[in-house]
Structure formats: C-alpha cells, structure tokens
Amino acid sequence: MSPDESGYTYPISGTLKTVFGFQAFRPNQESIISSILENRDVFAVMPTGGGKSLCYQLPAMLMRGTAIVISPLISLMKDQVDAAEENGIDAAFMNSSMNADEMSDVYRRLKYNKLKLLYIAPERFAMPHFIEKLKAASISFFAIDEAHCISEWGHDFRPDYLGLSLIPEKFQNVPVAAFTATATQRVQEDIIDRIGLRKPHIVRASFNRPNLFYEVRAKAKIEPQILDFLKDHQGESGIIYRTTRDSVMEIANFLKSNGIAALPYHAGLPQEERKRNQEAFNRDEAQVIAATIAFGMGIDKSNVRFVIHADLPKNIEGYYQETGRAGRDGEPAHCLLFFGRGDIPKIRYFINNITDEREKDIAVEKLNQTVGYASHNVCRRRQLLGFFGEDYPHDNCGGCDICSGSVEQIDITIDARILMSAASRTGQRFGAGHIVDIVTGADTKRIREFKHNEVKTFGAGKGKDKKYWRSLVDELLAQEALMREGDTYPVLKITQKGSDIMFGREVITALKKEEIKTTQKKKGIQEGYDEALFARLRNLRKKLAEANQVPPYIIFSDKSLHEMCRLYPSTLSNMRQISGVGDVKLERYGEKFIHEIARYLTENPEVR
C-alpha cells in the first residue's frame, strides 16, 4: 500500500486485522479513527476497556510522521510502548526517569521520522524549546489520554495539563484527539474549551460493559465467603477492595495462609513494596491483590477476571470505576459486592467528620445511593447506567444476579403491614433495628423502657427471623413505602404509598431471588473453553513474558487464549483467525502456541 495525497493508506479495516489481529471495530472506534485521518479534532468519552488506545494507535500507523500521545502516568507509558512494539509499531516514550543519552536517542528517532508513536508526560509542554523540537519534526496528530485531568470540575485535576492548550495554538493544522473514561457534560465542555478543540467530532459511548457480571451477596463471615468464591475462580486474576489498611493486610494474610498467592496494596506500605506488589500482580505472579482504593490509576492489566468489594463502597462512581478494572479484554468477568448493613455506620462515622455541611449532605446522598444499589431488587446494570444518566433499554440484562436468577414475584403485603404498623404505633420515631425487635418480640432494655412489648404488633412476626424482617425494611425503603429521616440515628417514616398499603388500598410485591451457581451464570454470557489447555497456554505465555520482560497480557490477551482453547488452531493460517493475533505476533509466537496445542492434543487424544 502506498500513501495517497493526504498522507495515509487505506483501508483501515485491513490494518485492524494485520497489525492488531482484530476482526471488527468496537463501537465508535471507526468513526474516531476516520475523523483523525480526515484531520479533524476528536473528543471521546469511552468506558475503561472500550478500546481507546486503538483509536490513536491505528491512525498513527497510517499517517505520515509521529503521533504524540500525552499520558499522565509513567508506569503506563512503558506498558503502552511495550504493547505497541509487540504489534510491530515503532514507539517510544519520554519522561523524567530517562537519562540524557536515552533522551537524545528518542529525539533522534523523532527527527528522522523513525517513530509512529511517542508517549510524553504533560509537564514536558512547559519545558523550554520542547515545542520547537516538536515543530522541527513531522507530527501526524496529538492524542490526549485521561483528558479530564485538564478540568477542575473533574476528580483528577492536574495543573500540568493546562499547558496542553498550547497545542492547537502552535500546531494549527495538526488534529488533536482527547480521550477520557469519565466526564459529565460539564467536564466535557470544560475539556473542549480548555484544550481549545476546534469543532471536534464528539463521541459519548455507552457506559455499559456487557461482559461484566454484577452480583451482590449478603455479607456474613467475609473471609470464608471470599475463599469460597476463589474456589470457583482458581488461577484467575482478581482484585479485592477493602476500606481500611488493616483489613487489607488481614485478608491478604488469610488468603496466603490458605495457599492463595495474594499480596496487599495500600498507601501505608513503602513505595518500593507497593510497586513490587503491583508488578507481581501485573505479571501474573500474584493471583490476587487485596487493596484499598489507592490501587487504581495505572492498572492497565487486561485480564482481571474479578473485582470483589468486601466492604460497602462510599459512592457509585467509585464502585463503577473499580469494577471497571475487570474484563478490559472483553472476556467475561465477575464483579461481586458483599453487602452488610454493619458497614453503613462505619461510613457514617467518616461522613460525620466532614466539616463542610454541603459536602456532608452530598456524602450522605451518595451513601444512600450505594445502599440502594445493593438492596434494591432492580437490575444492577440498569441502576449503574441510570446513575450515569443512561437509560438501559432492555428488561433483562442477562448479566446480573437480579436478571439471571430464577426470580419469582411474591406478595409481601401482610408482612409489610405488620412492620409498618409497628412503626406507626410507636410514633415513627424509631430506627429499623428497634422496629424489627418489636415485630420479632425481642426482649431488650429499650423495648421494656418504652413499654413496646405492649404494642399490638409486638411479636407478630416471630415466625420469621430478624434477617428476614431486616431485608423487608430494605425492600420497603427501596419501593418507597418507607423512608429514612435523620442522619445520625435515622428513623423510619411511612410514606403516602406506605399508608396506602397499610390501609388496604394497595398491595405490594417483591422479587424473590433464588441462589444460583456461579458457573451456571457465566454460560449465558460466553460459551466455555478448554480449561486444561488454557492453564498450559497461560504458562507458556508467562514464560515468554518473563523472557521478554513484559506483562503476560501484552503477549496475548485472555481473550486470544480463550479462543485458542475453543478452536485448537493447528496451522499458522488457523492461528491468524484468532482475535488479537496480528502479523507480528503470528510470526513471533504463532509456532510456539501451535506446538503447545498440538502437544496437548497428542497427550489428551480424547479431547477432540
């Protein structure tokens, strides 16, 4: 192929296959790439795992000159460059960790047009002569990653990013593409304005992550519960989030003593150790990382198969971001939240320490939303997307515990009346715990003190346990028959809908969830693969990764390996059909994997 007048070669779908080994574009990738190729600015909000890197790597391959990628994290730059090089793309990075020789080498490659991609940190734009050096080279376009860092309205403002507004000014005919995974409408406008994008092609992708399975389980004894989950997920990479540093250490030690390769990560650990642990996780040497939310930015690992929240998250945005680290490769991944009411007072305690009243109100509101997410019998995906202003168009998402359980509608009117009557007869002045005590006929000091054992509904719900009545309170709150009032000691109030139910003007039903086994759930999303072979290919991948000093997922993603474990490619041309196998990887690794698959099949003739 030779370049046409505008400087790039067609077709882009050919490049997608030969360089990246992919059959089809993900949503929005093609329109973004075409815009860049037409020299148009781009602004794109795409969720984690949406495939942003390809949106600039592919046009960089096709256009004349070097694409400059601005990226805030040094640790990620190296991974990105390694990944590009594995696909045969000439790439380099420039950052403060490099010595003078290394720098001048990169400048030389830039000057002689030997680079398709150059990753740089934003602060470089403030350095003298840097812009002139870029001007002396041939620049195809600029890509700004994590573009929300330029906005003070965003959650990650970095003053260094402000210098990027120089780009459109100094490079008038060079397109600029800005990418982010989080931007409200307001942040979006701010980003476009601050960088100075010129009538950009705007993309707001759906935040739905179809390959993620969302589940909430009741939290009881958390350690054995996690161990139980891990039994079904042997050898799979995953993150366990906990709120405090102590609990991170506890769970990591507990898992270690149960033979699981787990490492801790939190801001209290020495920098060196944190780095080492993250690296070990990245390289599949540690299966599990137990972490506080300090573990976040800078994880590019594509084969995270599960994210567990062992404690209640403080807000839904954070929850979405954290779960978003699962399944970047597009393969099924599990997001499990353990929800226990006992976590609520702990978060309230933090909230009570906030001095700014407005901030405090927001924090309470956010906490209520998370509790709602965990306790409402509403499709988890619908709730998450609704939170980002997106209306999920289907009745059943097939990828959450609510939608995939065998769900049954049951009438809960009678029990709802018992509960609400207890609240009403005690003047709507008590919290859920006390009301449940009344209904179940508990003998507590408070009950005796207030003579609540004389209330008509005292003990009327004895036949069912406290847990049941507790969850009924949640249900009534979720369906807005009850509401909570007050911050520190919230009391239950009966709403209009609640009194309609109480006085027989309305009935109320709830979904009854049946427990189903994890393995069953996954089938709906993706068909299976040969797990024994996968273990072997994963081993081979790890060896190659060690030899090349790159993370394993950069050699091949889990998705590529899973496909190999379904299709058993035996020739190079079969191998070529596997997603993620481009020309360069085919040449580098094709034979080795074919050989391993053939050996496996000879040793296990019954497989085929």
Give yes or no for residue 25 binding ligand ADP (CB under 6 A). yes
Q: Is the peptide bond before 122 cis (omega within 30 degrees of 0)?
A: no
- Distances in whole angstroms, Cα of residue 381 to Cα of each of 211, 216, 343, 374: 11, 12, 23, 12
Take residue 548 and report the two structure tokens written for it. Answer: 């090349």
Contact partner at residue 379 from ligand ADP, Zn ion, none, CB < 5 to 8 Å by partner kind: Zn ion
Smallest distance from ligand ADP to CB 315, Å: 21
Q: For Zn ion, which is the closer residue by CB, 159 or 524?
A: 524
Binding range to Zn ion, per CB under 5 A, among 7-15, 397-405, 484-492, 576-584: 397-405
The set of residues, in sequence order, having a beta carbon less than 8 Å from that of 147 and lying 6+ positions away, is: 43, 161, 178, 179, 180, 183, 191, 195
Which position among 15, 53, 247, 323 is part of the footprint of ligand ADP (CB under 6 A)? 53
Contact partner at residue 141 from ligand ADP, Zn ion, none, CB < 5 to 8 Å by partner kind: none
The answer to whether residues 168 and 23 touch, using CB atoms and an 8 Å cutoff, is no
Smallest distance from ligand ADP to CB 583, Å: 15
Contact partner at residue 421 from Zn ion, ligand ADP, none, CB < 5 to 8 Å by partner kind: none
Binding range to ligand ADP, per CB under 6 A, among 19-27, 30-38, 167-175, 586-594: 19-27
Q: Which residues pair with 66 in a beta bridge?
A: 139
Smallest distance from ligand ADP to CB 60, Å: 13
Q: Which residues pair with 339 in a beta bridge?
A: 218
Smallest distance from ligand ADP to CB 54, Å: 4
Site mask for ligand ADP (CB under 6 A), range 240-279, x = bound: ----------------------------------------
CA–CA separation, 256 vs 487, rounded Å?
A: 39
Binding range to ligand ADP, per CB under 6 A, among 45-53, 61-69, 268-276, 585-593: 45-53
The answer to whether residues 400 and 217 touch, using CB atoms and an 8 Å cutoff, is no
Site mask for ligand ADP (CB under 6 A), range 565-594, x = bound: --------------x---------------
Query: Which residue is associated with the tokens 């990560």?
Result: 265
Give yes or no for residue 46 binding ligand ADP (CB under 6 A). yes
The answer to whether residues 151 and 194 touch, using CB atoms and an 8 Å cutoff, is yes
3-state secondary structure at position 525? coil
Smallest distance from ligand ADP to CB 49, Å: 5
Give yes or no for residue 50 binding ligand ADP (CB under 6 A). yes
Count of beta carbons in the 10 Å neighbourhood of residue 175? 26
- Give the single-character DSSP code of 20: I
Which position among 84, 144, 363, 403 is part of the footprint of Zn ion (CB under 5 A)? 403
Q: Are strands 408-411 and 482-485 parallel, antiparallel or unpaired?
A: unpaired
Q: For ligand ADP, which is the closer residue by CB, 436 or 565?
A: 565
Q: For Zn ion, which is the closer residue by CB, 345 or 524?
A: 524
3-state secondary structure at position 270? coil
CA–CA separation, 19 vs 114, rounded Å?
A: 17
Give yes or no for residue 397 binding Zn ion (CB under 5 A). yes
- Cα 71 to the chain's mean position, in Å? 19
The answer to whether residues 247 and 310 touch, using CB atoms and an 8 Å cutoff, is yes
Phi and psi at residue 451, in whole multiples of 5°? 55, 35
Q: What region, left, alpha or beta, does residue 483 occupy, with left being phi > 0 and alpha being psi -120 to 50 degrees?
A: beta
Smallest distance from ligand ADP to CB 367, Å: 28
Give yes or no for residue 536 binding ligand ADP (CB under 6 A). no
Query: Judged by CB under 6 A, how many residues of this single chain contact ligand ADP?
Result: 18
Give yes or no for residue 381 binding Zn ion (CB under 5 A). yes
Query: Judged by CB under 5 A, how many residues of this single chain contact Zn ion?
Result: 5
Q: Which residues pair with 304 in a beta bridge?
A: 237
Take residue 89 and report the two structure tokens written for it. Answer: 């793309």
The answer to whether residues 216 and 229 touch, using CB atoms and an 8 Å cutoff, is no
Q: For Zn ion, which is the closer residue by CB, 205 or 397?
A: 397
Report which residue type is found at 458.
F
Smallest distance from ligand ADP to CB 387, Å: 20
Q: For ligand ADP, which is the closer residue by CB, 327 or 498?
A: 327
Smallest distance from ligand ADP to CB 331, Å: 10
- For the segment 285-304, give every residue that binds ligand ADP (CB under 6 A): 302
Closest CA to 541 of 589, 504, 471, 475: 589
Contact partner at residue 381 from ligand ADP, Zn ion, none, CB < 5 to 8 Å by partner kind: Zn ion
Contact partner at residue 403 from Zn ion, ligand ADP, none, CB < 5 to 8 Å by partner kind: Zn ion
Q: For ligand ADP, which is the closer residue by CB, 53 or 237?
A: 53
H or E segment and range at residue 431: none
Q: For ligand ADP, which is the closer residue by CB, 29 or 151?
A: 29
The set of residues, in sequence order, having a beta carbon less than 8 Å from that of 367 and lying 6+ positions away, is: 314, 315, 344, 347, 348, 351
Binding range to Zn ion, per CB under 5 A, among 235-243, 358-366, 395-403, 550-558: 395-403
Give yes or no for residue 312 binding Zn ion (CB under 5 A). no
Q: For ligand ADP, which is the closer residue by CB, 54 or 255?
A: 54
Q: For ligand ADP, which is the closer residue by CB, 200 or 498?
A: 200
Report which residue type is found at 69.
V
The answer to whether residues 387 and 320 touch, using CB atoms and an 8 Å cutoff, is yes
Binding range to ligand ADP, per CB under 6 A, among 274-282, 291-299, 327-335, 453-461: 327-335
Radius of gyration (C-alpha) of the chain in whole angstroms? 27
CA–CA separation, 297 vs 282, rounded Å?
A: 13
Contact partner at residue 54 from ligand ADP, Zn ion, none, CB < 5 to 8 Å by partner kind: ligand ADP
Which position among 52, 148, 305, 382 is part of the footprint of ligand ADP (CB under 6 A)? 52
Give yes or no for residue 400 binding Zn ion (CB under 5 A). yes
Contact partner at residue 588 from Zn ion, ligand ADP, none, CB < 5 to 8 Å by partner kind: none
CA–CA separation, 68 vs 82, rounded Å?
A: 16
Closest CA to 310 of 365, 349, 360, 262: 262
Which position among 146, 284, 329, 401 is part of the footprint of ligand ADP (CB under 6 A)? 329
Contacts made by residues 386-390, CB under 8 angstroms, sequence distance 24+: 387/316, 387/317, 387/320, 388/207, 388/320, 390/206, 390/207, 390/208
Point out which residues bind Zn ion (CB under 5 A).
379, 381, 397, 400, 403
Residues that bind ligand ADP (CB under 6 A): 22, 25-26, 29, 46, 48-54, 302, 328-330, 557, 579
